[in-house]
Amino acid sequence: MTRAQQTISVALLLTSLYLAVFMEVVPLPEKIQDDIVPVLPFWALISFGSYLLFKLGLGVFTFNDVPDAHKELMAQIKEARADLQAKGVDVGSD
């Protein structure tokens, strides 16, 4: 099973479970049904966005902790500058 198929399967499963709870196929206490279930998609979206922002921030924060990737990126930047200068583009100084 590819990663896309696995992701789609999990998404369909979670959607089915949510719809079963939302349409009251699965009985829950009235307070949970009225106050929590309707906002679950928004909570999930905000939680997922927060997780992605955390991962992005952590990646930026720890970028210098990966010296090999830093050296590779700097080499690619020098190569791109040399290529652009060969084509007559002014790219400034280092």
Tell me the pLDDT tens digit for each residue of 40-76.
999 999 999 999 999 999 988 887 667 888 889 999 9
Contact predicate 91/81, CB 8 Å: yes
> What is the C-alpha to C-alpha distance for residues 9 and 2, in angstroms, rounded to an integer?
11
Q: CA-CA distance, 8 to 28, in Å (whole number)?
A: 27
Distance in angstroms (rounded) separating the CA atoms of residues 58 and 52? 10
Instruction: Please write the tens of the pLDDT for every residue from 23-38.
Output: 999 889 999 999 999 9
Report the alpha-carbon distance of residue 17 to residue 30 in Å, rounded.
18
Confidence of residue 93 (pLDDT cuts 50, 70, 90): low
Contact in structure between 41 and 18 (CB atoms under 8 Å): yes
The answer, yes or no, to whether residue 17 has pLDDT greater than 80, is: yes
